[in-house]
Every structure is written in C-alpha cells, then in structure tokens.
Structure 1
Amino acid sequence: MKLTVTTFVTLDGVYQAPGGPQEDPSGGFVHGGWSAPYGDEDFGRFMTGVFEHAEAFLLGRKTYEIFASYWPLHADPADPIASSLNVLPKYVATTTLASADWQNTHLITGDLREEIVALKQRDGKELQVHGSGALVRWLLREGLIDTLHLLSFPVLLGTGKRLFPTDALPTAYALTQSRTTSAGVVLSSYERSGEPEYGDYAEDERV
C-alpha cells in the first residue's frame, strides 16, 4: 500500500484545529475552525475522491479520538467518507490509549516505523493519514510518505502548530495535479520522487 497524507494547512503552515474551536485549543490557540468557511462543493468532491482510494487508515491519537466521537454516529451507507472510516481498518499510533471501541481499530504501541513499513508492504490501495499533524511531522522526518495531498487555505493565522518540521528528511516530490476550489483552496497532490537535486543559477547559461 502507498502511504498517502491528506492535510489542511494555512498559508503560514499552521495545521492546528482546522475543523472547529474545540479540536485542539492547546497553547492558547484561538483560531480553531479556520478551514470550515471554505468547505464548498469543490472541496467536498475532492475529499470524497480521496476516500475512494482508501484501504486502511493510519491516525494519530488526537485525530482518532475526534473521528471516533463523530463518525460512528453518522454511519450513512450512502456517504463514502462515513462508510470508509467506519468499516475499514484503522491503525492508531499511540503511547497513551489502552483500548479503542471504534469498529476495526488497532492500536500501534510498539515500534512505529517497523509497524508502518509492514503495513505498507501489504497489498491494497492506500494507507491514508488524515489530520494527525504530530504523526505527519514524524512521517516527514522518517521519509515514509509516498503521496502528499496538501490543501492550502487562503488564511494566515500567525500562531499555531506548524506542519513542516525543521528536521524533515530532504525529499523531492513531483506535482501530479493542482486545482483551486471556488472558495480559493489550492488542492495540490505530490508524489515522492526521490532525493532533492541541486544546482547553481550562476552556472546556468539560461538565466
């Protein structure tokens, strides 16, 4: 399976609490819910398309708890997002949860890298990460992300948890598609292409 990350981010790189004020107010964050005003039909179609490729989910503890408190109560068989999340396997990276009641949930409490590599070696479509900012930062450090769907919202907050760690593994990605919703969200998809290449403009005769 490919490991695919779908993440919401502001123009200044904040990922904290995009869906509502109570998602993550830690650190005195007062801007929760910054993505909600941009959830138009274009955005909904893109997200539905992403979930259609899911084989399993890899989630951080906070995102898992947010999802587990909502989606089991909205189990609409006609909703592809609800159906995927409620039925497909969910693997939770945690050092604090001892048990989980949501259907088909598995806790990863051992060596996280080893477990994820083993999951990626299984047959199937995509092992998807949604939200889970701290987990995504770790995956960037470890170089384990195959596909990155970066949803950039036209808002700048100034404060909040930043997505990209300063110690991320240097990695090159190829842009495979980019579009803009009617509300102004830029939906960009990147595939990992290897290590970055470097050059020098001073030596480039085309410049």
Structure 2
Amino acid sequence: MRELIVREFITLDGVIESPETWQFPYLSEDVAEQIQKDVHSAESMLLGRATYEIFAASWPLRTRNEFGVADKLNSEPKYIVTSSLDTVMWNNSRLIKGNIEMEIRKLKQQPGGAIQIVGSAMLVQTLMNICLIDELQLMVHPVVVGHGKRLFDDGITSSGLNLIEAKTFSSGVVLLRYKLEAARTTV
C-alpha cells in the first residue's frame, strides 16, 4: 500500500501560509539537500485546489531547476482534490472530486511509491480526521510570524503521533517525522 506523507514548511507557531515570506533566511545548504531528497523520494503529489493553483502558476514557468526539484514536480503525477475546478492545465494533473475518502483510499491501494502532500492545510486536516495520512514531516523553522493559515486549526481530530526522526540543520530548522497511530491501525 502506498504511503501518504505530509511535508510542510512550518513556523514555530504552526503557520504554513506564505513560506516564501519567512522560509528563505533558513534555507541552508543542508536544508536544500533535504528538500531535494524528499521531493525525489515521492512518486506523486496530492494537492488541494488553492495549493494547486499557486504551484501551477509558478513551477511550470521555472527555467532553472531550483534545488533539483522543478523537473520532478513538473513531470510527476499530481492529484488535485477540488469541488470547484473542472479542468487542470499543469502537466500530469488529474482531478479528484466527489467522495474524497473513497478516491484517496483507492489511490493508496494502487501500485507505486509514496504520495506527498505539501501545503493544502484544509486537505491535510480532512485526511487526518479520516485517518488516511501515514506520516507527517514538518520542517520547523525558528521563526514566529503571529498570523496566517495554521496546519492544525480548529476542527482537527486528536491524533496520536510516534516520533521516528528528529534532525537539526545548520540554520536552526528542525525536521520532525511522525507516524500517525490511527493511520497504521485504520488503513
């Protein structure tokens, strides 16, 4: 069964919105290497509509292969969870509409490697609440921004987490990897 892995840049106060405004001062060489490794370890990407629209407006236009990931992101299969879009233009993108739980369960049971989710806070919360996420990988940045979309907002169901890795980078960023207890026993 394919694993569903959430990968987020996150501030100390839990914000994931607009990482371009706070993440770059902490983008050390070792952080960039980790990002490259993570992106290349997944076979496909699952995105919510808003994150898809941001990525689709940016990544296809990149002329240099930023951190070695532009070609990968542009070529890999992308699954977009939406109730409002009828078409998607980014290469290798497919819409997921209707019964999200059933569609994601089917996707996880197909042959293949890991599926990563980036951004997409509402989608992450929905999938956590129905126990479909296998792993959280949080790159915690040593900054407090005080406002913005938080990864864990009101309405998230309590989930048990098992720490499987904690790694500190030269810039003070800490990678925390957790397995979700409910995903292991439910899916």
More helix per residue = 2
Alignment of 1:70-109 (within 5 A): 70-74=58-62, 80-109=68-97
Q: TM-score, normalised by structure 1?
A: 0.81
Matched with 1:151 is 139
Alpha-carbon distance in structure 2 between the residues aligned to 1:71 and 1:17: 16
Deviations 1:69-105 (A, max 9, x none): 1211226579642222111110001112121111111
3-state secondary structure, aligned to 2:181? strand
One-letter code aligned to 2:151: L
Deviations 1:166-192 (A, max 9, x none): 433332222111111111111111122
Q: Does the CA contact (< 8 Å) of 1:55 and 1:88 recur in 2?
A: yes
Percent identity for Structure 1 against Structure 2: 41
Alpha-carbon distance in structure 2 between the residues aligned to 1:155 and 1:48: 22
Matched with 1:34 is 22
| Greater RCO, CA 8 A, separation 6+ | 2
Matched with 1:181 is 169
Q: Does the CA contact (< 8 Å) of 2:17 and 2:150 recur in 1?
A: yes
Matched with 1:193 is 181
One-letter code aligned to 2:102: E
Q: Does the CA contact (< 8 Å) of 1:63 and 1:131 recur in 2?
A: yes
Shift of residue 150, structure 1, vs aligned partner: 0.8
Deviates more, 1:86-95 or 1:72-81: 72-81
Structure whose alpha-carbon radius of gyration is higher? 1
Alpha-carbon distance in structure 2 between the residues aligned to 1:173 and 1:167: 18
One-letter code aligned to 2:153: P
Matched with 2:11 is 10
Alpha-carbon distance in structure 1 between the residues aligned to 2:128 and 2:63: 32
Structure 1 outlier segments of 4+, above 3 Å: 75-80
Matched with 1:56 is 44
- Of residues 110, 116, 123, the one that matches 1:135 is 123
Q: Does the CA contact (< 8 Å) of 2:30 and 2:169 recur in 1?
A: yes
Shift of residue 194, structure 1, vs aligned partner: 4.0
Q: Does the CA contact (< 8 Å) of 1:54 and 1:84 recur in 2?
A: no
Unpaired runs of 5+ residues, structure 1, are 20-32, 196-207
3-state secondary structure, aligned to 2:43? strand
Alpha-carbon distance in structure 2 between the residues aligned to 1:70 and 1:159: 24
One-letter code aligned to 1:82: A
Alpha-carbon distance in structure 1 between the residues aligned to 2:128 and 2:119: 14
3-state secondary structure, aligned to 1:42? helix
Tell me the number of residue pairs that the alignment of Structure 1 and Structure 2 aligns.
182
RMSD of aligned Cα (Å): 1.9
